[in-house]
Amino acid sequence: MLSDRRLSVVAELIRDHVSLDGIDRYCAETGVQSRDFVSVEPSEFDGEVFAIDGSNVSICSWSAANLNLIRAGYAVYRGRDWRRTVITYDDIFLADPRMCKDVFDPYLEQIFNQKGIDLKESDLDRLSSYFRELQEYIALDDAIREAKSGDIILYDGSFEVFEPLRESLNVVFSRAEEKGIALLAIAKSSSLFWGEGISLPFVQHTSIAGSRLQPGVPWYLNLKDKKVEHSQGKWGGETYIVRFSGRSERAFRVDAPKYLGSLVGPIFGKLAAYSCSAECLGYPHALFRAHRDIMIAEKEGAFTRLKLMEMLSRGGLGLSQVKILMQDYHDVLDMRQGI
């Protein structure tokens, strides 16, 4: 049973180290100064905003391989008006290490002009994550073809991705730059950290510091030359912390490809004008809609799982075989609690 004494120690640790009462230590150790918080002026624009997202749910796993339901696509807005949601992929994916090249390579060769995927043994347990990422990049590519110069495309997540798909992302950057489209990645969560001895949350603490140094206004902070743990540069761009609404306490990690350069300020201003919805104050509403429209609900995954079990039974597998294949033994143990 959890010891209250142990929990008390952890509570003191959070209080004394993770919580941020004052910002002097934060500024001294990260190199962040008041002048680094650049205010943003919200401005409406006539273009469209494309918001890309993806979702996946595990259907079953038999250790050597697993089956996932994966969906990817994008929502399109003009100003505050939703135009359409496009689903670019909605299917099951069999994550089998022996079949991965047959699944990945046609997409990589035909869409991104790559020779194929090169996976190490340590990558094989991430196959479903890689495939979902790949489908999100295909959605990105589709949005780039649909967008016009001056439009904005938002990607849910970060551009700091696993190595096997960095080349595909570079192709996406080149196509967006060639067409004159602003491409940004906005992450709902971030592992950026600062401090010594204990990892301190950089995005959350920057949000608090920015609220005190630039109260009541949207702002952005460039991470270049700041003392924060991140691998900036491997994907060829800059990372920012951005607060899109002065009425919100939350800021987000935002990745911008290098070709955007000094254009990021005006782009952030355009997004700030459309991050004032009561449903998701301080978050671009197009990304909120994309998440809602594309997310695979747990009940949808459960229905697919039951449907697969029924098909296996009709195909001649006995009930015991289906259970062995489909059932997580943790569930069996949980059902037997109290016996």
Asked if pLDDT for residue 262 goes beyond 70, the answer is yes
Residues near 190 by beta carbon (within 8 Å), at least 6 away in sequence: 158, 202, 203, 252, 253
Asked if pLDDT for residue 329 goes beyond 90, the answer is no
pLDDT digits (tens, 9 = 90+) for 277-291: 999 999 999 999 999
Q: What is the CATH number of domain 38-294?
A: 3.30.2170
> What pLDDT was estimated at residue 45?
92
Band of pLDDT at residue 257, cut at 50, 70 and 90 = very high
Q: pTM of the predicted model, to two decimals?
A: 0.90
Q: How many CA atoms lie within 13 A of 237 on its CB side?
A: 26
Band of pLDDT at residue 59, cut at 50, 70 and 90 = confident
Residues near 311 by beta carbon (within 8 Å), at least 6 away in sequence: none
8 Å CB contact between 255 and 185? yes
Mean pLDDT of 159-166: 85
Domain with CATH 3.30.2170 in the chain: 38-294
- Taking CA 187 as the corner, what is the angle to CA 236 and CA 179, rounded to the nearest 5 degrees? 50
